[in-house]
């Protein structure tokens, strides 16, 4: 018995005669896989066309044609950044008030002088005085003579101080005082400006496809001959049958097959894991033998019998 193993799946193919070691049927479609499986024998007396030369398919590959071209590609897109703009200052000249205008008041004291003034000591008056002579007699009886005489006023010189000039207040205006100074003032406040960073490109050499790779399929039709024979219907036979293999299956399909086997009462010995290992293949063969199905590969008839969706 010959074993063939794949990376994700493994299947068994029984050795067959040389004439059966040919390629799968010529009407195979892309994505289909075939294997020589052991089909249960069945006999029938009839005329049969026997394949004496199977169809062959060969491929002629024409490599793709490329050419090197220079291509300008964008390495870095255009961007922006904010650049600070410092403030602008200037020197200005201005006159400032140092001391305001003032009014100073000055008091001029009074001045005095001495004056001599006649002061009345006693005013002028008249008074009686004793007379001197007969012709001045008034009263003959007494012989006394009284005369009414004027007594002049009596004055005295008195010196006293008088105001020559009264006290007064004078005002002096002191003008305001200014100074001319220079100072630095801000003419333009600080701002920002947008700086554009241009996109950056590079020129690279790339390979450009001129003509794609081509495959020409050269097919040789099979040759048959008609013979009369008794066909063993139930006898085992190794034939091409469409199967699942590592090329056209997925872990999801393997997982469905494993679950279907468990549902049919077969023990995998492990939890379904989506890997087509030796244990899974062994249980599949047991199922095929028990149900009279072709053995030696995971055929589509086996999948149909298990009720597994064949859409891989």
Within a domain: 302: yes
Distance CA 54, CA 233 (A): 22
Look at residues 119, 141, 166 and tell me which one is the last residue of a structural domain.
Answer: 166
Within a domain: 231: no
Look at residues 150, 166, 182 and tell me which one is the last residue of a structural domain.
Answer: 166
Look at residues 120, 138, 166 and tell me which one is the last residue of a structural domain.
Answer: 166
Within a domain: 88: no
Within a domain: 128: yes
Domain count, the chain: 2
Within a domain: 81: no
Domain containing 125: what range? 110-166
pLDDT tens digit sequence for 255-297: 888 898 999 899 888 889 888 888 888 999 999 889 888 887 7
pLDDT tens digit sequence for 134-154: 554 455 555 566 677 788 888
pLDDT tens digit sequence for 211-257: 898 878 878 888 888 876 665 665 566 777 667 776 667 888 888 88
Within a domain: 141: yes
Distance CA 302, CA 284 (A): 8
Residues 47/226, Cβ–Cβ less than 8 Å: yes
pLDDT tens digit sequence for 141-199: 555 666 777 888 888 888 878 887 888 888 888 898 888 988 888 889 999 988 899 98
Within a domain: 125: yes
Within a domain: 286: yes
């Amino acid at each position: 018995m010959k074993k063939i193993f794949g990376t994700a799946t493994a299947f068994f193919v029984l050795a067959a005669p040389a004439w059966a070691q040919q390629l799968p049927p010529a009407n195979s479609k892309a994505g289909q896989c075939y294997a020589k499986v052991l089909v249960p024998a069945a006999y029938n007396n009839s005329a049969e066309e026997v394949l004496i030369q199977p169809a062959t398919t060969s491929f002629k590959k024409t490599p793709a044609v490329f050419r090197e071209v220079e291509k300008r590609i964008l390495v870095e897109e255009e961007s922006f950044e904010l650049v600070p703009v410092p403030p602008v200052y200037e020197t200005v000249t201005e006159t400032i008030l140092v001391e305001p205008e003032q009014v100073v008041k000055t008091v001029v004291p009074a001045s005095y002088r001495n004056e001599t003034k006649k002061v009345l000591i006693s005013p002028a008056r008249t008074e009686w005085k004793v007379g001197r002579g007969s012709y001045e007699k008034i009263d003959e009886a007494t012989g006394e003579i009284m005369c009414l005489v004027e007594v002049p006023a009596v004055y005295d010189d008195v010196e006293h101080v008088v105001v020559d000039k009264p006290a007064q207040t004078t005002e002096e205006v002191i003008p305001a005082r200014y100074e001319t100074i220079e100072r630095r003032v801000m003419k333009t406040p600080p701002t920002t400006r947008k700086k554009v960073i241009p996109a950056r490109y590079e020129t690279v050499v790339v390979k450009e496809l001129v003509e794609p790779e081509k495959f020409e399929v050269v097919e040789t039709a099979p040759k048959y001959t008609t013979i009369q024979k008794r066909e063993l219907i139930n006898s085992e036979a190794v034939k091409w049958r469409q199967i699942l293999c590592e090329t056209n299956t997925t872990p999801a399909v393997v997982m469905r097959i494993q679950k279907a086997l468990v549902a049919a009462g077969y023990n995998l010995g492990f939890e379904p894991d989506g890997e087509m290992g030796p244990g899974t293949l062994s249980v599949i063969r047991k199922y095929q033998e028990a149900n009279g199905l072709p053995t030696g590969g995971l055929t589509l008839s086996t999948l149909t019998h298990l009720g597994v969706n064949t859409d891989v």
